[in-house]
Amino acid sequence: MKTETYEQLKNLHDNYGPQEFGKLCQKFLAVAFQMAGYSHIVERGVQGVDVDAAGKKGEKYAVEVKTTVTKSVNFEQKDVDGLQKRKEDGYQPVLAVLRLDRFSDWIFAKSDTIKSGSLYIDSLRVYRLRELEGRICLLFDKAVKEHFGGTMREAQRYLDKVLRQKGIEVYRH
């Protein structure tokens, strides 16, 4: 991630706290998928898989999003079950992890064989979907840069408006 993106994300984290920060990153990720040309995107601020993204070439990803400032994330059984359910609909289950650190970037891990529990982020490297990371990471930086000001002012409310304007389905409480 670019230094500018890190600084902006750190400001959002400091301003809104870890839980809200994770939801904001999830919405930025949905925008990045849209920018990458995925045509059918669903972002859920409620129970279930966080983001579904389907592309023109039959690519379909169900993404569970985790953000942290530590070296591990908690991948709960409900996350595993939700991803498994989406797999039945033809979606590739993905665990997307962002550690808020100066030189970190998203890790997109193929998650069909990952067990629930506390996961050390570096252990996810063997499951990486590098091509998908390559397509989405730069666009994530661009999405954050483009929508940082509005997000600092209105948080999720602002990003929900952006998602709807871009044709992304948004489900909230």
Please provide residue 68's backbone torsions phi and psi, each rounded to the nearest 5 degrees: -160, 165
Task: Report CA-CA distances (Å) from 90 to 10, 11, 105, 161.
Answer: 35, 37, 27, 29
Write out pLDDT tens, residues 58-111: 889 999 999 999 999 999 999 999 899 888 889 999 999 999 988 888 999 999
> Could you give the domains of the chain?
3-171 (3.40.1350.10)
d(CA 100, CA 154): 21
At residue 173 the predicted structure's pLDDT band, cuts being 50, 70 and 90, is: low
**Helix (H) or strand (E) run with residue 84 in it:** helix 77-87
List, in order, residues 6 or more apart from 81 with CB less than 8 Å away: none
CB 25 within 8 A of CB 57: no
172 contacts 160 by C-beta, under 8 angstroms: yes
Under the banding of pLDDT at 50, 70 and 90, the label for residue 167 is confident
Q: What is the pLDDT of residues 39-58, one digit of tens each?
A: 899 998 767 789 999 987 78
